[in-house]
Amino acid sequence: MPDGGREVLPGYPIEVAFPDIVCYAEGNAGIPYAYSFDSGLPGPHVMVAALTHGNEVCGAIAVKGLLDLGIRPRKGRLTLVFANAEAYQRFDPAHPDASRFIDQDFNRVWTAAVLDDAALDSSELRRARALRPLVDTVDFLLDLHSMHERSAPLSVSGPLDKGIAMARELGAPGWIVSDEGHPEGRRMRDYAGFGDPGSAKNAVLVECGQHWEAAAADVARDVTARFLVLHGIAEAADLPPAWRQAQSAAAVTAPRVVRVTEPVLASSMDFRFAGNYTGLETFPEAGSVIGWRDGVAVQTPYPNCVLVMPSLRQLRPGVTVVRLGQLLA
């Protein structure tokens, strides 16, 4: 159905309940909705972040689950954050994409120049500035996300070998996407030492599935458990057995790695795909038409080109509507 000349995209059912997180509003780290627990023993500072986008509920389910369970680190320090809780509180099932952020994407502000520029202001910038001193002390970050479209889960490792290596160590999901990020701005997973090849700090962003499918919450719990065990923050027995999912031998031993080569940006509201793509579609032939931008065909630049998270749900000029990647493994 047309909407001001724009196609109205079909919605996905909301299969999960959105947990009430107000009970965790106070925090214990001097920052609302942020908790940090120090074991008193040597070890890394590990952070699990949820709600980087306010409508991505799976991470909130996993982080609230850890807080409800009273998980404490066996060594080092564990930090649990509901990043954009203000956007989350505005979620409306009738307009489920509208609460992605308040003023601007929280996951596009993570450069020192932007964070330090007093002339810039938004709800998300204020939140990022409040969290920044805490994030600055983190050694390993897991940022839990979900996707606009229903697609296989994937890890977004960033462009560095260390990011790919940690994604492999997790053992799930079975797809790893290595990329430079978005032209709109830097993600938290690429901030400071996380994006520095000379730093021991590391981060991974996991897209757990479609925003509101029940399976995405299962993936979020699974990868969170794996992440905590990997870094010695917890042992497998500390978490409910149902948090861990069995993985295929192929996914564990040989995850498929896609290296993103370029984003495809919308230059106006006139963009449409050639098919009902949801992600990880692979085109054997170079020159395959995948869509049209302002009436001009968008073609794959090389053989075996993979579409990474195609979606028009946030369509506006300058937004990345899909990223193109080469299948490496």
CATH code for position 182: 3.40.630.10
Within this chain, do residues 205 and 293 fall inside the same structural domain, yes or no?
no
Element (H, E) at 114: helix 112-116
Q: What CATH number did the domain enclosing 271 receive? A: 2.40.50
User: Are 188 and 320 part of one and the same domain?
Assistant: no
Which pLDDT score, from 0 to 100, does residue 287 have?
A: 97
Whether residues 247 and 266 share a domain: the answer is no
Q: Residue 51: its pLDDT value, please?
A: 98
The structural domain count of the chain equals 2
Q: Are 226 and 171 in contact (CB under 8 A)?
A: yes
> At residue 59, does pLDDT exceed 50?
yes
Rg of the chain in Å (alpha carbons)? 19
By CB atoms closer than 10 A (0-12, 13-18, 19+), residue 292 is middle
Question: What own/partner pairs with CB < 8 Å and gap ≥ 24 does 104-108 have?
Answer: 105/53, 105/184, 105/185, 106/52, 106/53, 106/188, 107/52, 107/53, 107/185, 107/187, 107/188, 108/182, 108/184, 108/185, 108/186, 108/187
Residue where a domain terminates, one of 227, 254, 281: 254
Calculate the alpha carbon distances from 258 to 179, 204, 276, 280, 328 in Å. 8, 15, 21, 9, 6
State the Cα–Cα distance between residues 205 and 5, nearest whole angstrom. Answer: 35
**Lowest mean pLDDT, pick from 29-33, 55-59, 85-89, 310-314:** 310-314
Examine the fold and report which residue of 254, 287, 313 is the final residue of a domain before the chain moves on: 254
Q: Both 16 and 86 in a single domain?
A: yes
pLDDT at 5: 34
Q: What is the mean pLDDT of the chain?
A: 93
Q: Which structural domain range is residue 205 located in?
A: 2-254
Half-sphere exposure of 259 (CA within 13 A, CB side): 8
Q: Are residues 68 and 169 in the same domain?
A: yes
Q: Are residues 96 and 115 in the same domain?
A: yes
Same structural domain for residues 225 and 106? yes
Residue 313 has, within 13 A of its CA and on its CB side, a CA count of 23
* Statement to judge: residues 72 and 6 lie in one domain: yes
- Per residue in 234-283, pLDDT (tens digit) is 999 999 999 998 765 445 557 899 999 999 999 999 999 999 999 999 99
| Domain co-membership, 49 together with 7 | yes
Last residue of a domain, which of 237, 254, 271?
A: 254
d(CA 108, CA 78): 24
Contact of 211 with 12, CB cutoff 8 Å: yes
User: Are 186 and 291 within one domain?
Assistant: no
Q: How is 11-64 classified by DSSP, letter by letter? A: P----S-----GGGSS-SSSSTTEEEEE-SSS--EEEEEE-SSTT-HHHHHHHH
Alpha carbons within 13 angstroms on the beta-carbon side of residue 292 total 6
In terms of domains, do 265 and 199 share one?
A: no
Are 55 and 140 members of one domain?
Answer: yes
